[in-house]
Amino acid sequence: MKINNFGPSGINPYKRQMNSMENAKSSAKAGADKVEISATAKEMHQLSQYSASRQERVEQLKLQVQNGTYKVNPEQVAKSMIDFYTEK
């Protein structure tokens, strides 16, 4: 039985890895980075602008509930539920 290439064959695998890392770095420097924002992300960003006023409203409602001054309008709740379930 004959075994070829036994022992070190003069190729350093670590050197090969270092060369490939250097090539990757140089190719990354050559191209410019580009960021694309989807339409959905833009819509979400616009919605987040309203979140400050919404957060303020939520805080007001929390205080009213804690103080016991929050009043529920049953007619409005019923109408909203009907509208929600009949809307398609």
pLDDT value of position 71: 92
- Tens-place pLDDT, residues 26-67: 665 556 778 888 888 888 877 766 777 788 888 999 999 999
pLDDT value of position 29: 58
Q: pTM of the predicted model, to two decimals?
A: 0.36
Q: Which positions ≥6 away from 64 have C-beta within 8 Å?
A: 70
Query: What single string gives the DSSP state of each residue in 4-63?
Result: -S-S--S--HHHHHHHHHHHHHHHHHHSPP-----HHHHHHHHHHHHHHHHHHHHHHHHH
> Residue 70 — pLDDT band, cuts 50, 70, 90?
very high
**Tokens linked to 80:** 């909203």
